A and B are shown apart, each in its own frame.
Chain A
Amino acid sequence: MSKIASWIAVAGVALHAAAGAQVPVDIVAFDTPNDAGASLTITWPRAETAVVSGYRVYVATAADGPFRLAVESATPGLKSGEPALFGYDDDNKRFHVVHITDYAVGETDEPAPLQDGTLYFVRLGAQTSTGEVLGEVASAVPGGNWFNTAKWNNIVLTIGLSVCILFFISKARRKDLFIRRIAGLEALDEALGRATEMGKSVLFVHGLKGMDQIPTIAAVNILGRVAQRTARFDTDLRVANVDPVVMSVSQEVVKEAYLKEGRPDAYRPDSVFMAATEQFSYAAAVAGMMVRERPAAHVMMGYFYAESLLLAETGSTTGAIQIAGTDAYTQLPFFVTTCDYTLMGEELYAASAYLSKEPKLLGSLKGQDVGKALLIGLLFVGTVVASFGVDFLTHLFAAL
């Protein structure tokens, strides 16, 4: 009997040892890269056979423990699921990865977060049918990182584009730069001239966004040029606003424009006014103005929402010449169908350069065009190589 029992015991130990031998539990531990700190990352090879039902990660502040539970998972992630940290190597599918941010201190206490600069000892336990198999202890120190290496492609592109734009801005001061004809802006003089001949006003509408938004800044730039022309032609200008800050800036811009043209007497402060502060109240107010006062020209520049069609359709019934410009993709169809001329997308941003012919604005436009040419080239090359299953360009420009 005792011989049988001892054989069973030996068999049990051998089985346990055999199970442990199949379960890789030796980990690599390191500070989690590209983070604010207080986090460690551990990786270990995936078990080839289905002997493991789950994993536990233990953390201690001393090499000999006591080790406390930090993470428990039946299906920990793989390195291949985190290309920002590990790239796109095919081998990544063979390794598990877990991030540790805190560990249990007591049964009922809140978990304690990891502290930057403290040395932690980490150990992995694999749950098998025969019990838990513990691996060797590894150690690492968590800390914050000063640069997110996963965004290196982003910073290179940004700096490259920025240098390109600034280069052309400086070059434009020395050399004339060509800008193609933009029909909507060519028609601006025609529209203003028509308003002058008819003795009617020009209505300018900026859209709904605030002064901190790029389309509004572009619209205010255009307003300055329009105001200069209305001052020169002695045409009445009406600027309807929805935002008080935009209204203040517009008042200054129009006043400055009239001063530049030597017509400070012609400037009327109430020509730049608040129509309303709400979207549809604003649309109703401006539409009412269009129908009552019948301006000869409507210039709608900026970012618009649903009120775009209300304004443009009402304007078209009055017979006014309408020039619109917006980068609001969803409103473009409404403007295209109801206005005489429409500036689409970045044509709105180019308008200021176009109207003023200022070297630095033209240079900025040229820089944008070079950037766009580069993007188009990359898109073309990337599409071709990706079609043949070569992913390096796709990975190079992946936003991680």
Chain B
Amino acid sequence: MDRLINIDRRIIFIFIFLGIAIPLLVDIHLPIKPTPTVRSVYDEIERISVEDADRPVLVSFSYGASTVPEMVPMTRAILRHLFSRGRKVVGICLWPEAVGIAQPIMDELAVEFGMEYGADYAFLGYKPGNQAVVLNLGQSLAGTFPFDAAGTPVGELAVMKGVRNLKDFSFVFDFAAGDSMEFWWIPFGQEKHRFPFAGGCTAVMAPDLYPFLQSKQLVGLLGGLAGAAEYETLIEAPGSATAGMEPQSVSHLIIILFIVLGNGVYFTTRRRGGKA
């Protein structure tokens, strides 16, 4: 019993490893049911594609290398949806690492959907300043990002025509692995200028952002790999997030089984009068 109470954590690690590795090798498919917070993002993009199709969408990348497995699938899903609806997209980065991650994805998906750089989409690169960048964007986009990532003045990009500041975008979406949604975009952007705003974040951050959903400062939220998988289901384009759901399900089950085992051993030991 003592050994079960103080089980070597490496045994738990092995089970978790197998729980993630085996489902990746075996072909199992569990049905994915989108949650209301994810569906809201989908519905909003569908709505603006009909009601506000002339104005571009701003996409902000605020994540780094460590959160690529969680954030890249939702980046692909959202961009895929936007491009498939013919939406013009402008991308910016508020984290320096995001440039090397997001730009190739935008370019790759743009080619897939026949989007032309400059006319249908643009990538403006990274600017330091965190919330100061959002503040400046609310006043003047050209003043904050005078050139795109390739050095072209933004005034020369057709996709930027008529865009003076944040209010001229039909929708703003932030991919956040840190503070960007709660401490930059919402207080310095959405609260001041009241544009439709939604975001995707790592799973651990999602509970932090629920109050903003209820106050309607966030239209919707994609939380972690599960949120990305739900979105892939909605756009009917399963990708790495959907493939990751089976390993995630099995690993959650393993953790639950260990918790139940731990509690079983604890209560058994307590009943016998031992120390748990």
Residues of A whose CB lies within 8 Å of any CB of B are 279-280, 305-306, 317, 329-330, 399
Decide: A306 near B208, CB < 8 A? Known: A279-B66, A280-B66, A399-B191. Answer: no
Interface size class of B (residues with CB under 8 A): under 10
Inter-chain contact A330/B66, CB cutoff 8 Å: no
CB within 8 Å of A: which B188-245 residues: 191, 202, 204-205, 207-208
A-B residue pairs in contact (CB < 8 Å), sample of 14: A279-B66, A280-B66, A305-B178, A306-B66, A306-B202, A306-B204, A317-B9, A329-B207, A329-B208, A330-B204, A330-B205, A330-B207, A330-B208, A399-B191
1/0 per residue B166-182: CB within 8 Å of A? 00000000000010000
User: B residues within 8 A CB of A329?
Assistant: 207-208
Contacts of A399 in B (CB 8 A): 191
Residue of B nearest to A313 (CB): B9
Which residues does chain B contribute within 8 Å of A317, judged by CB atoms? 9
A contact residues around B202 at 8 Å (CB): 306
Which residue on chain A has the smallest CB distance to residue B9? A317
Q: Complex Cα distance A169/B93, Å?
A: 43
Interface positions of B (Cβ within 8 A of A): 9, 66, 178, 191, 202, 204-205, 207-208
A interface, by DSSP: helix, strand, loop or mixed?
helix
A207 vs B137: C-alpha distance when bound (angstroms):
29
Rounded to whole Å, the gap between the CB of A154 and the closest CB of chain B is: 11
Docked CA distance A399–B212 (Å): 13
Complex CA–CA separation, A306 to B178 (angstroms)? 9
Bound Cα distance from A280 to B64, whole angstroms: 11
The total number of A-B Cβ pairs within 8 Å is: 14
Complex CA distance for A9 and B156, rounded to whole angstroms: 54
In the complex, residue of chain A having the shortest beta-carbon distance to the beta carbon of B206 = A330
Given the complex, which residues of A lie within 8 Å of B191, measured CB to CB? 399
Complex interface: chain B residues within 8 A of A279 (CB):
66
A306-B191 Cα distance, complex, nearest whole Å: 27
Please give me the 10 A-B residue pairs with the lowest Cβ-Cβ distance, nearest first. A330-B208, A330-B204, A329-B208, A280-B66, A330-B205, A330-B207, A306-B204, A305-B178, A279-B66, A399-B191
A283 to chain B, nearest CB (A): 10
Q: Which residues of B contact A306 (CB under 8 A)?
A: 66, 202, 204
Q: Which residue of B lies closest to A306 (CB)?
A: B204
Instruction: Using A280-B66, A306-B66, A330-B208 as known contacts, list a sample of 11 further A-B pairs with CB atoms less than 8 Å apart, ordered by residue number in A.
Output: A279-B66, A305-B178, A306-B202, A306-B204, A317-B9, A329-B207, A329-B208, A330-B204, A330-B205, A330-B207, A399-B191
Instruction: Tell me the smallest distance from the CB of A170 to a CB of chain B, in Å.
Output: 30
In the assembled complex, the CB of A62 is this many whole angstroms from the nearest CB of chain B, namely 28
Residue of A279, A317, A329, A330 with most chain B CB atoms under a 10 A cut-off: A330
Set of chain B residues within 8 Å of A330, measured between Cβ atoms? 204-205, 207-208
Residues of A within 8 A of B204 (CB): 306, 330
Question: B9, B204, B205, B208: which has the most chain A beta carbons within 10 Å?
Answer: B204
Q: How far is the CA of A305 from the CA of B191 in the complex (A)?
A: 25
CA distance A305 to B204 in the complex (A): 9
Q: From residue B143, how far is it (CB to closest CB) to chain A in Å?
A: 15
Query: Looking across the interface, which residue of chain B has its beta carbon closest to that of A208?
Result: B178
A307: nearest chain-B partner, CB-CB: B66
Residues of A within 8 A of B205 (CB): 330
Q: CA of A296 to CA of B128 in the docked complex: distance in angstroms? A: 39
Min CB gap B34→A, angstroms: 23
Name the B residues within 8 Å of A280 (CB-CB). 66
Q: How far is the CB of B199 from chain A (nearest CB, A)?
A: 15
Q: Which residue of B lies closest to A212 (CB)?
A: B130
Which residues of B lie under 8 Å from residue A305 when comparing CB positions? 178
Q: What is the chain A residue whose CB lies nearest that of B217?
A: A399
Measured between alpha carbons, how far is A399 from B204 in the docked complex, in Å? 28
Question: Could you tell me the distance between the alpha carbons of A399 and B208 in the complex, rounded to whole angstroms?
Answer: 20
Q: Tell me how far the C-beta of A328 lies from the nearest C-beta in chain B, rounded to whole angstroms.
A: 8
CB distance from A332 to the nearest CB of B (A): 10
- Complex CA gap A89/B205 in Å reads 39
User: Residues of A contacting B178 with CB < 8 Å?
Assistant: 305
Tell me the bound Cα distance from A230 to B97 in angstroms: 39
CB distance from B26 to the nearest CB of A (A): 29
Q: Which residues of A contact B207 (CB under 8 A)?
A: 329-330
Looking at the assembled complex, report how far the CB atom of A319 sits from the nearest CB atom of chain B, in whole angstroms: 13
- Complex: how many Å from CA A279 to CA B205? 16
Residues of chain A with a CB closer than 8 A to B9's CB: 317
CB contacts (< 8 Å) of B66 on chain A: these are: 279-280, 306
Nearest CB of B to A139, in Å: 27
Q: Complex Cα distance A317/B208, Å?
A: 29
**Min CB gap A81→B, angstroms:** 11
Query: Shortest distance in angstroms between B155's beta carbon and chain A's nearest beta carbon?
Result: 12
> B178 — nearest CB in chain A belongs to which residue?
A305
A280–B67 alpha-carbon span in the complex (Å): 11
With CB as the reference atom, state the residue of chain B lying closest to A328.
B208
Contacts of B208 in A (CB 8 A): 329-330
Chain B residue at minimum C-beta to C-beta distance from A303: B179
Residue of B nearest to A399 (CB): B191
A248 → chain B, closest Cβ, in Å? 20
Residue of B nearest to A309 (CB): B204
**A222-B78 Cα distance, complex, nearest whole Å:** 43
Give min CB distance, A14 to chain B, whole Å.
38
**Cα distance A306–B9 in the bound complex, in angstroms:** 20
Q: Most chain-A CB neighbours within 10 Å: which of B66, B191, B202?
A: B66
- Give Cα A198–Cα B36 distance, bound, in whole angstroms: 54
